[in-house]
A = this chain, B = another copy of it.
Amino acid sequence: MDKQTYAAAGVNIDAATKAKELIAKHARSTLRPEVLSGVGFFGGLFEFKGFKQPVLVSSVDGVGTKLKFAAAVAKDVTTCSDLDNHCGNDILACGAEPLFFLDYMAMGRLVPEQVEAIAQGLAKACREVGCALIGGETAEMPGLYAGKDYDLVGFIIGVVEKEKIIMGKTIVAGDAIIGLPSSGLHTNGYSLVRKLFGETKSALDTYYPELGQTLGETLLEPHRGYYHQLKPLLPLIKGLAHITGGGLMGNVPRVLPPGVAAQFHSQTWTVPPIFQLIQRQGNVAQQEMYRVFNMGIGMVVICAPDDVAQLTQALPEAKVIGEVVKQEGEARVVID
Protein backbone atom coordinates (compact mmCIF):
# COMPACT_ATOMS: atom_id res chain seq x y z
CA MET A 1 0.00 0.00 0.00
CA ASP A 2 1.18 3.55 -0.68
CA LYS A 3 2.36 5.46 2.36
CA GLN A 4 -0.74 6.87 4.04
CA THR A 5 -0.91 10.17 5.90
CA TYR A 6 -3.47 11.99 8.01
CA ALA A 7 -3.57 14.72 5.35
CA ALA A 8 -4.49 12.18 2.66
CA ALA A 9 -7.32 11.02 4.93
CA GLY A 10 -8.67 14.56 4.88
CA VAL A 11 -7.24 15.93 8.14
CA ASN A 12 -4.60 18.58 7.65
CA ILE A 13 -2.64 19.20 10.86
CA ASP A 14 -0.67 22.03 9.23
CA ALA A 15 -3.88 23.82 8.26
CA ALA A 16 -5.13 23.32 11.82
CA THR A 17 -1.93 24.81 13.24
CA LYS A 18 -2.19 27.80 10.92
CA ALA A 19 -5.87 28.24 11.82
CA LYS A 20 -5.00 28.18 15.54
CA GLU A 21 -2.50 31.00 15.06
CA LEU A 22 -5.05 33.06 13.14
CA ILE A 23 -7.71 32.45 15.78
CA ALA A 24 -5.29 33.35 18.59
CA LYS A 25 -4.54 36.72 16.96
CA HIS A 26 -8.22 37.69 17.15
CA ALA A 27 -8.91 36.05 20.50
CA ARG A 28 -6.12 38.12 22.06
CA SER A 29 -8.06 41.28 21.21
CA THR A 30 -10.81 40.19 23.61
CA LEU A 31 -8.76 39.25 26.67
CA ARG A 32 -9.52 40.82 30.05
CA PRO A 33 -7.07 41.19 32.95
CA GLU A 34 -8.66 38.16 34.62
CA VAL A 35 -7.51 35.82 31.83
CA LEU A 36 -4.31 34.12 33.08
CA SER A 37 -3.67 31.60 30.34
CA GLY A 38 -3.28 33.57 27.14
CA VAL A 39 -4.56 31.56 24.20
CA GLY A 40 -3.73 27.94 23.34
CA PHE A 41 -3.30 26.18 26.69
CA PHE A 42 -5.32 23.04 27.45
CA GLY A 43 -7.88 25.02 29.40
CA GLY A 44 -8.76 28.70 29.46
CA LEU A 45 -7.95 30.21 32.89
CA PHE A 46 -10.12 33.02 34.25
CA GLU A 47 -9.41 34.54 37.67
CA PHE A 48 -12.64 35.07 39.46
CA LYS A 49 -12.78 37.97 41.91
CA GLY A 50 -14.77 40.93 43.16
CA PHE A 51 -18.10 39.22 43.84
CA LYS A 52 -19.92 38.84 47.16
CA GLN A 53 -22.12 35.81 46.53
CA PRO A 54 -21.54 34.95 42.89
CA VAL A 55 -23.64 32.58 40.83
CA LEU A 56 -22.17 31.41 37.53
CA VAL A 57 -24.64 31.35 34.65
CA SER A 58 -23.85 29.31 31.55
CA SER A 59 -25.47 28.63 28.22
CA VAL A 60 -24.68 26.81 24.99
CA ASP A 61 -26.21 27.62 21.61
CA GLY A 62 -25.79 27.05 17.92
CA VAL A 63 -26.83 29.12 14.95
CA GLY A 64 -28.90 26.37 13.36
CA THR A 65 -29.45 26.19 9.63
CA LYS A 66 -29.08 29.99 9.33
CA LEU A 67 -25.52 28.84 8.62
CA LYS A 68 -26.69 27.42 5.29
CA PHE A 69 -28.02 30.82 4.19
CA ALA A 70 -24.89 32.56 5.39
CA ALA A 71 -22.76 30.13 3.39
CA ALA A 72 -24.88 30.69 0.25
CA VAL A 73 -24.07 34.40 0.23
CA ALA A 74 -20.59 34.06 1.83
CA LYS A 75 -21.50 35.95 5.00
CA ASP A 76 -19.84 33.76 7.63
CA VAL A 77 -19.16 36.74 9.83
CA THR A 78 -22.83 37.55 10.32
CA THR A 79 -23.42 34.29 12.11
CA CYS A 80 -20.79 35.19 14.72
CA SER A 81 -22.86 38.03 16.15
CA ASP A 82 -25.81 35.66 16.01
CA LEU A 83 -24.01 33.16 18.16
CA ASP A 84 -22.64 35.61 20.66
CA ASN A 85 -25.92 37.49 21.05
CA HIS A 86 -27.97 34.30 21.31
CA CYS A 87 -25.76 33.07 24.16
CA GLY A 88 -25.57 36.51 25.79
CA ASN A 89 -29.36 36.97 25.76
CA ASP A 90 -29.83 33.56 27.37
CA ILE A 91 -27.72 34.42 30.42
CA LEU A 92 -29.13 37.96 30.48
CA ALA A 93 -32.52 36.29 31.08
CA CYS A 94 -31.24 35.52 34.63
CA GLY A 95 -29.75 38.99 35.04
CA ALA A 96 -26.17 37.85 34.39
CA GLU A 97 -23.33 39.77 32.73
CA PRO A 98 -20.99 37.92 30.37
CA LEU A 99 -17.46 36.93 31.49
CA PHE A 100 -16.04 34.62 28.86
CA PHE A 101 -16.91 32.64 25.75
CA LEU A 102 -15.69 29.46 24.02
CA ASP A 103 -16.50 28.35 20.50
CA TYR A 104 -16.64 25.07 18.60
CA MET A 105 -16.28 25.01 14.82
CA ALA A 106 -16.60 21.77 12.89
CA MET A 107 -16.23 21.38 9.15
CA GLY A 108 -15.51 18.86 6.42
CA ARG A 109 -12.45 20.72 5.22
CA LEU A 110 -10.55 23.22 7.33
CA VAL A 111 -9.77 26.40 5.38
CA PRO A 112 -7.66 28.64 7.64
CA GLU A 113 -8.98 31.86 6.06
CA GLN A 114 -12.61 30.85 6.68
CA VAL A 115 -11.80 29.92 10.27
CA GLU A 116 -10.07 33.27 10.69
CA ALA A 117 -13.11 35.15 9.36
CA ILE A 118 -15.30 33.38 11.91
CA ALA A 119 -12.84 33.98 14.76
CA GLN A 120 -12.64 37.65 13.80
CA GLY A 121 -16.42 37.92 13.87
CA LEU A 122 -16.62 36.15 17.23
CA ALA A 123 -13.91 38.38 18.70
CA LYS A 124 -15.71 41.52 17.53
CA ALA A 125 -19.00 40.32 19.02
CA CYS A 126 -17.23 39.40 22.28
CA ARG A 127 -15.56 42.81 22.56
CA GLU A 128 -18.94 44.50 22.17
CA VAL A 129 -20.16 42.96 25.44
CA GLY A 130 -16.77 42.91 27.22
CA CYS A 131 -16.57 39.12 27.06
CA ALA A 132 -13.22 37.28 26.72
CA LEU A 133 -12.93 34.71 23.92
CA ILE A 134 -10.96 32.31 26.10
CA GLY A 135 -10.91 29.04 24.19
CA GLY A 136 -12.31 26.91 21.44
CA GLU A 137 -12.06 23.79 19.38
CA THR A 138 -11.72 23.56 15.62
CA ALA A 139 -12.50 20.10 14.28
CA GLU A 140 -11.92 18.90 10.73
CA MET A 141 -14.27 15.97 10.17
CA PRO A 142 -14.33 14.75 6.58
CA GLY A 143 -17.35 12.52 6.02
CA LEU A 144 -19.51 14.18 8.66
CA TYR A 145 -19.79 17.62 7.03
CA ALA A 146 -20.29 17.79 3.26
CA GLY A 147 -18.71 20.33 0.91
CA LYS A 148 -18.34 23.74 2.55
CA ASP A 149 -20.80 22.93 5.34
CA TYR A 150 -19.80 23.71 8.89
CA ASP A 151 -21.37 23.93 12.30
CA LEU A 152 -20.69 26.66 14.83
CA VAL A 153 -21.46 26.45 18.54
CA GLY A 154 -20.92 28.95 21.34
CA PHE A 155 -20.64 28.51 25.06
CA ILE A 156 -20.86 31.46 27.44
CA ILE A 157 -20.19 31.88 31.15
CA GLY A 158 -21.50 34.91 33.02
CA VAL A 159 -22.08 35.91 36.60
CA VAL A 160 -24.83 37.43 38.72
CA GLU A 161 -24.93 38.23 42.42
CA LYS A 162 -27.25 35.73 44.11
CA GLU A 163 -29.58 38.44 45.46
CA LYS A 164 -29.97 39.89 41.95
CA ILE A 165 -30.94 36.72 40.08
CA ILE A 166 -34.01 37.23 37.88
CA MET A 167 -36.05 34.04 37.59
CA GLY A 168 -39.64 35.21 37.49
CA LYS A 169 -40.45 33.97 41.00
CA THR A 170 -42.06 37.28 42.08
CA ILE A 171 -44.33 37.56 39.03
CA VAL A 172 -48.04 37.93 39.95
CA ALA A 173 -51.29 38.40 38.05
CA GLY A 174 -51.58 42.04 37.01
CA ASP A 175 -47.90 42.47 36.07
CA ALA A 176 -47.21 44.06 32.71
CA ILE A 177 -45.63 42.30 29.73
CA ILE A 178 -43.36 44.47 27.61
CA GLY A 179 -41.96 43.38 24.24
CA LEU A 180 -38.64 44.40 22.73
CA PRO A 181 -38.45 44.13 18.94
CA SER A 182 -36.38 41.44 17.27
CA SER A 183 -34.21 42.29 14.28
CA GLY A 184 -35.82 39.52 12.20
CA LEU A 185 -35.86 35.74 12.56
CA HIS A 186 -32.84 35.82 14.90
CA THR A 187 -31.73 32.17 14.76
CA ASN A 188 -35.00 30.23 14.58
CA GLY A 189 -37.21 28.81 11.89
CA TYR A 190 -34.61 28.69 9.12
CA SER A 191 -35.30 25.07 8.18
CA LEU A 192 -38.90 26.01 7.35
CA VAL A 193 -37.76 29.07 5.39
CA ARG A 194 -35.33 26.89 3.42
CA LYS A 195 -38.14 24.55 2.52
CA LEU A 196 -40.34 27.42 1.32
CA PHE A 197 -37.83 29.58 -0.58
CA GLY A 198 -34.87 27.25 -1.23
CA GLU A 199 -31.38 28.42 -0.39
CA THR A 200 -29.94 29.25 -3.80
CA LYS A 201 -28.12 32.53 -4.28
CA SER A 202 -30.79 33.65 -6.75
CA ALA A 203 -33.60 33.04 -4.24
CA LEU A 204 -31.69 35.01 -1.62
CA ASP A 205 -30.89 37.83 -4.08
CA THR A 206 -34.58 38.36 -4.93
CA TYR A 207 -35.75 41.87 -3.98
CA TYR A 208 -39.12 42.12 -2.20
CA PRO A 209 -40.71 45.58 -2.12
CA GLU A 210 -42.44 44.81 1.18
CA LEU A 211 -39.04 44.03 2.77
CA GLY A 212 -37.35 47.03 1.16
CA GLN A 213 -34.35 44.77 0.52
CA THR A 214 -33.52 41.27 -0.71
CA LEU A 215 -34.71 38.12 1.03
CA GLY A 216 -31.09 37.22 1.90
CA GLU A 217 -30.41 40.59 3.52
CA THR A 218 -33.52 40.21 5.65
CA LEU A 219 -32.80 36.62 6.65
CA LEU A 220 -29.18 37.31 7.57
CA GLU A 221 -29.94 40.27 9.82
CA PRO A 222 -27.92 39.35 12.96
CA HIS A 223 -29.64 38.10 16.11
CA ARG A 224 -29.99 41.19 18.24
CA GLY A 225 -28.32 41.46 21.64
CA TYR A 226 -30.17 43.20 24.49
CA TYR A 227 -27.41 43.37 27.10
CA HIS A 228 -26.42 47.04 26.90
CA GLN A 229 -30.04 48.24 26.76
CA LEU A 230 -31.33 46.12 29.62
CA LYS A 231 -28.35 46.07 31.99
CA PRO A 232 -29.15 49.40 33.76
CA LEU A 233 -32.83 48.43 34.04
CA LEU A 234 -32.42 44.95 35.58
CA PRO A 235 -33.41 46.08 39.12
CA LEU A 236 -36.89 46.97 37.78
CA ILE A 237 -37.43 43.63 36.01
CA LYS A 238 -39.20 40.57 37.47
CA GLY A 239 -38.84 38.20 34.52
CA LEU A 240 -37.08 38.03 31.15
CA ALA A 241 -37.84 35.53 28.39
CA HIS A 242 -35.51 35.29 25.42
CA ILE A 243 -37.74 34.38 22.46
CA THR A 244 -35.89 31.63 20.56
CA GLY A 245 -37.00 28.20 19.29
CA GLY A 246 -40.62 27.70 20.39
CA GLY A 247 -41.51 31.38 20.04
CA LEU A 248 -43.66 33.21 22.59
CA MET A 249 -45.61 29.98 23.18
CA GLY A 250 -42.54 27.97 24.18
CA ASN A 251 -40.35 30.49 25.96
CA VAL A 252 -42.57 32.73 28.10
CA PRO A 253 -43.80 29.80 30.29
CA ARG A 254 -40.17 29.17 31.31
CA VAL A 255 -40.24 32.29 33.54
CA LEU A 256 -43.81 32.10 34.85
CA PRO A 257 -44.43 30.82 38.39
CA PRO A 258 -47.32 28.37 38.92
CA GLY A 259 -50.87 29.74 38.75
CA VAL A 260 -50.35 32.52 36.23
CA ALA A 261 -50.43 32.77 32.44
CA ALA A 262 -49.29 35.35 29.90
CA GLN A 263 -52.03 37.13 27.91
CA PHE A 264 -50.70 38.78 24.74
CA HIS A 265 -52.66 41.23 22.59
CA SER A 266 -51.42 40.68 19.06
CA GLN A 267 -52.83 44.00 17.80
CA THR A 268 -50.44 45.91 20.10
CA TRP A 269 -47.43 45.26 17.86
CA THR A 270 -46.84 45.03 14.14
CA VAL A 271 -45.58 41.67 12.95
CA PRO A 272 -42.67 42.53 10.59
CA PRO A 273 -43.22 41.93 6.84
CA ILE A 274 -40.78 38.97 6.67
CA PHE A 275 -43.08 36.88 8.87
CA GLN A 276 -46.12 37.79 6.75
CA LEU A 277 -44.18 36.85 3.62
CA ILE A 278 -43.23 33.46 5.10
CA GLN A 279 -46.78 32.79 6.24
CA ARG A 280 -48.21 33.61 2.81
CA GLN A 281 -45.55 31.66 0.91
CA GLY A 282 -46.13 28.50 2.95
CA ASN A 283 -49.79 28.95 3.85
CA VAL A 284 -48.61 28.41 7.43
CA ALA A 285 -51.24 28.32 10.18
CA GLN A 286 -51.25 31.31 12.54
CA GLN A 287 -50.62 29.15 15.61
CA GLU A 288 -47.69 27.41 13.91
CA MET A 289 -46.16 30.81 13.10
CA TYR A 290 -46.25 31.76 16.81
CA ARG A 291 -44.73 28.42 17.78
CA VAL A 292 -41.83 28.55 15.28
CA PHE A 293 -40.95 32.25 14.94
CA ASN A 294 -40.49 35.18 17.31
CA MET A 295 -43.03 37.20 15.23
CA GLY A 296 -41.17 40.43 15.86
CA ILE A 297 -40.62 40.13 19.63
CA GLY A 298 -37.05 39.18 20.59
CA MET A 299 -37.20 39.64 24.35
CA VAL A 300 -40.14 39.73 26.75
CA VAL A 301 -39.80 41.81 29.91
CA ILE A 302 -42.20 41.35 32.84
CA CYS A 303 -42.50 44.06 35.50
CA ALA A 304 -44.86 45.54 38.07
CA PRO A 305 -47.43 47.94 36.56
CA ASP A 306 -45.82 50.84 38.47
CA ASP A 307 -42.50 50.35 36.68
CA VAL A 308 -43.89 50.35 33.12
CA ALA A 309 -43.47 54.09 32.60
CA GLN A 310 -39.81 54.09 33.66
CA LEU A 311 -38.99 51.05 31.49
CA THR A 312 -40.75 52.23 28.34
CA GLN A 313 -39.18 55.69 28.71
CA ALA A 314 -35.70 54.11 28.87
CA LEU A 315 -36.49 51.70 26.02
CA PRO A 316 -38.09 53.81 23.26
CA GLU A 317 -38.83 50.78 21.03
CA ALA A 318 -40.49 48.80 23.84
CA LYS A 319 -44.26 48.35 23.92
CA VAL A 320 -46.67 46.92 26.45
CA ILE A 321 -47.97 43.86 24.58
CA GLY A 322 -49.88 42.00 27.28
CA GLU A 323 -50.27 41.27 30.96
CA VAL A 324 -49.93 38.45 33.45
CA VAL A 325 -53.30 36.91 34.34
CA LYS A 326 -54.54 34.28 36.75
CA GLN A 327 -54.23 30.92 34.99
CA GLU A 328 -57.55 29.32 34.06
CA GLY A 329 -57.22 25.86 32.48
CA GLU A 330 -54.03 24.50 30.92
CA ALA A 331 -52.77 27.38 28.80
CA ARG A 332 -49.67 29.27 29.95
CA VAL A 333 -49.71 31.65 26.98
CA VAL A 334 -52.77 33.12 25.27
CA ILE A 335 -52.50 35.32 22.18
CA ASP A 336 -55.64 37.20 21.14
Contact = CB atoms under 8 A, between A and B. Distances in A.
Nearest to A168: B41
A60 B136 contact: yes
A6 B191 contact: yes
A191 B42 contact: no
Nearest to A59: B43
Interface string A1-21: 111111011110100100000
A57 B45 contact: yes
A195 B254 contact: no
Given A41-B94, A59-B135, A64-B141, A13 B291 contact: yes
A93 B158 contact: no
Contact of A91 (B43, B61, B96, B149): B43
Contacts of A142: 65, 191
Interface in A286-323: 288, 291-292
A174 B134 CA distance: 33
Describe A's contact surface by its main secondary structure: mixed
A146 to B, nearest CB: 7
Contacts of A106: 62, 151, 153
Contacts of A96: 43
B4 A192 contact: yes
A90, A143, A283: residue with the most chain B Cβ atoms closer than 10 Å: A143
Given A43-B94, A139-B64, A191-B11, A6 B288 contact: yes
Interface in A36-85: 36-37, 40-49, 51, 53-62, 64-65, 67-68
A62 B158 contact: no
Interface stretch (A22-30, A97-105, A116-124, A206-214): A97-105
A91 B135 contact: no
Nearest to A249: B13
Copies assembled? 2
Nearest to A244: B42
B13 A250 contact: yes
A61 to B, nearest CB: 6
A134 B156 CA distance: 13
B55 A45 contact: yes
Contacts of A5: 192, 284-285, 288
Contacts of A42: 59, 90-91, 93-94, 241-242, 254
22 contacts: A1-B282, A3-B282, A4-B192, A4-B195, A4-B282, A9-B194, A9-B196, A10-B191, A11-B191, A40-B254, A41-B254, A42-B241, A43-B57, A43-B58, A45-B160, A46-B55, A47-B53, A47-B56, A58-B155, A62-B106, A62-B139, A151-B151
Contact of A60 (B102, B254, B282, B292): B102
Given A36-B165, A41-B167, A106-B151, A191 B141 contact: yes
B4 A65 contact: no
A205 interface: no
A281 interface: yes
A157 B283 contact: no
A97 to B, nearest CB: 12
A275 B292 CA distance: 49
